[in-house]
Each structure stands twice: as structure tokens, then as C-alpha cells.
Structure 1
Amino acid sequence: MEPARQVGRRLRDLRTGRGMSLSELARRSGVGKGTLSELEAGRRNPTLETLYALTSALGVPLSSVLSVPMDAPISGDAVEAVLTERFADGTAVSEVYRIRIRAGAVQESAAHAPGTAEHIVVLAGTARVGTAAEPRTVGPGGHARWPADVPHLYAAPSGDVEAILVVRHPGGDVTCWEPTYPSTG
């Protein structure tokens, strides 16, 4: 099965497994209902940002909808990622990605589940990464860790960056957290 169809089926299964309507997931994620419908049907390739918005709204790690290892990268505006490993041990789900941050690009990421942390090892280039409030500069061979349960960013101020990213989510299964939403009524 082609990757877009696999991702779409996993999104639909996660959504229906939670008893969530298409409209509700669209509202919670900020992704248009039509876009979500096309993604679930496998007729549209998702961006990295869209998948993060959807999996966050579903309360699961990004790797819950991806294949391990991935055949091709998933791209966003600034970051291209390939999931290479997913490990769950009952206390956490750890995801290992090979990433490229495009030169001059900045990816601002919303907060993930409480307790989520990210670790990066820069292979080539110089990255600006970490919390939005206190990003750090990391060069080749360097590494950094930051809490990912607050807004955070990835940037490549001068030239592409090649890196390994580890995202560690609390909890040991795909439902490692349940997001909370303000009441609307």
C-alpha cells in the first residue's frame, strides 16, 4: 500500500477508535475538514506540520501514523524527516528521525504532550534549536536537549543541517497522552 494511503488509514483508525468525528478532529487540529477527508482517503500527501497537528490532537506520537523505517521522507516548510526507529517500553515511546533543516528556514513547533523531550545530534551544518524562548546554536558533532512540551523551533541560519532527532514521549503505547481542550460552551 502506498504511504499516503497507509497514513490515511492509520489516521482514520485512530480518530474512529477515539469516537471522534471528522469535524471534531478538524476543529481540534486546525486542519480543514476537506483536507482531513482527503488525507484519510489517501488522496493527499500530508506535510510534516499537518501530521503533527493531527497526531497531537489525537494524543499520539507522530510515529503512530508512519511506517518504520520510512521509504521516503516527509517534508514540511523547513524540516524533512525520515522515521528510522520507534521503541516503546511501557514508560515511553522514543522515535528516532534522520532530519534535514533547510538553509534559511525556521520551523516553529507547537508544544507536544506534557513531559515530551527532544534531543538532537548535528551531523553537518549549524542548527538553531530548542525552546522558542531559549534556542541554542549547535554545530557539527554537537548535541542539545530541550523540553518539547513548550513551543520550540528548528532553524538553519546558514546552510542545510543534517541531524539525528530523538523525540521521547511519556507513556508506553500509542495513546501516551490525552490532550485537553478549553470548553466551547
Structure 2
Amino acid sequence: MSSSSTFSLLVAERVKAARLAQGHSLSHLAKQAGLGKGSLSELEAGRRNPTLATLYSLADALGVPLSHLLPDAGSQQPRAEVASPGIRATLLHSTVTAEQIVEEVFLLTLTAGEKRFSTAHPAGTTEHLYLTSGHAEVGPTAATQTLHAGESVTFQADTEHSYEALSTTARAVLTILTPLDPSA
């Protein structure tokens, strides 16, 4: 079995388990995530490779961090890597802190010519992005910042935000902190 099909099957298991744990039907989750029921069915069966955009839509609809739908970064499986036009994200680490905050660390590769918009994450979510190479524009859509290699930005990610390479390629380490209980 190829690492791509192994990845698809592991993601399929996690998406289906999260959907069933919350008592959602396939139709309900598909509608909440803005996906076709057939597409979600194929994804849950492991017959479709999910894009980063699809997984974020599902994570947002389920109210879980993205890493909950990806294979464990510390497992013997290949690192979870998902992509959409203009962006590739590799999950490096995911844990839940003693303070009940999900901490996810991703390696991002941005390519010029595509701006990636991310919908609002759960209330209280914060992102820290450190640009390791290139130039990029990142942050809340209404107030993006231009970064150069070696610079960083921290912002509340519970509003729409975006990422865009201003150089041919830009690479970054992204840490996302999501409280498990936003009211806490």
C-alpha cells in the first residue's frame, strides 16, 4: 500500500470517527462543511485524497483542530502532509497541554500566485508564524502583514486570515494554539 493511500485511509478513519462521535449524518456534515455528500462519502471510504481546504472545512464544521483529522505526527506512519493550491502543510507535532490547549506545529510551504484564505478557527485560537525563507503576506484578512525571512507574526485566528507567498516560494513554521473549551 502506498503512503498516499495509507494517509487517505488514516484520514478517512479519523473523519468518520469524529463525525460519528458527534452524531452527525453524512449529509449533515457534508452540508456544514460545504462539501458534496458523495465527496465526503468517498473521503470517508479512503478513495479520495483530501486537500488542505477540504480538511479545514471538515475540522471547522466538526469544531476540532485540523490535527484531530490527521495521522499522529509521532506515529510510525509517514508525516501527515496536505496541500491546496498555493500551500502545503506538514504536521510536525500535535499535543494537548495541561491547560487543555491543542498545540499544532506545521511546516508550511507557500508558492507564489495563489492566496490561501482560511476561515475563522474556534474562538480563542492563536497562530504564530515564523518565516524561515522568502517573503510572504500573512495574518487576518483585514490586516495582513508582509514578512521577510527571519520575521514572525502572532494573531488571533478566530477571524478569516490568509497566507500568500510574495517570492517564488516561502517557507514557515506555523504553531496553532486552540483551546479545547473556548469559554475557559
Using structure 2 for the length normalisation, give the TM-score: 0.90
User: 1 CA distance for matches of 2:173 and 2:108?
Assistant: 6
Indicate if the aligned counterparts of 1:68 and 1:84 stay in contact, CA closer than 8 A: no
* Equivalences for residues 143-182 of structure 1 within 5 A: 143-171=152-180, 176=181
The reply to whether residue 66 of structure 1 matches residue 70 of structure 2 is yes
**Larger relative CO (CA 8 A, sep 6+): 1 or 2?**
1
User: 2 CA distance for matches of 1:15 and 1:163?
Assistant: 31
Shift of 1:71: 2.7
- Measured on the aligned residues, the alpha-carbon RMSD in Å equals 1.5
Shift of 1:72: 5.3
Unaligned runs of 5+ in 1: 179-185
The corresponding residue for 1:27 is 31
The reply to whether residue 142 of structure 1 matches residue 112 of structure 2 is no
The reply to whether residue 111 of structure 1 matches residue 120 of structure 2 is yes
Superposition misfits of 4+ residues, deviation over 6 angstroms: none
Amino acid at match of 2:63: G
Indicate if the aligned counterparts of 1:94 and 1:167 stay in contact, CA closer than 8 A: yes
User: 2 CA distance for matches of 1:118 and 1:71?
Assistant: 21
Unaligned runs of 5+ in 2: none
Amino acid at match of 1:3: F
User: 1 CA distance for matches of 2:161 and 2:79?
Assistant: 27
**Secondary structure of 2:123's aligned partner:** coil
Listed one character per residue, the Cα deviations across residues 29-79 of structure 1 (whole Å, up to 9, x for unaligned) are 101100000000000000000000001101100000112325352111121
* Equivalences for residues 4-153 of structure 1 within 5 A: 4-69=8-73, 70-71=78-79, 73-89=81-97, 90-153=99-162
Indicate if the aligned counterparts of 1:111 and 1:152 stay in contact, CA closer than 8 A: yes
**Secondary structure of 1:162's aligned partner:** strand
**Secondary structure of 2:142's aligned partner:** coil
Shift of 1:119: 0.8
Shift of 1:105: 1.6
Amino acid at match of 1:50: T
**Secondary structure of 1:6's aligned partner:** helix
Amino acid at match of 2:82: I
Shift of 1:87: 1.7
User: 2 CA distance for matches of 1:28 and 1:66?
Assistant: 19
Indicate if the aligned counterparts of 1:105 and 1:157 stay in contact, CA closer than 8 A: no
User: 2 CA distance for matches of 1:113 and 1:162?
Assistant: 25
Aligned identity (percent) is: 40
User: 2 CA distance for matches of 1:13 and 1:87?
Assistant: 19
User: 2 CA distance for matches of 1:54 and 1:109?
Assistant: 12
User: 2 CA distance for matches of 1:155 and 1:139?
Assistant: 12
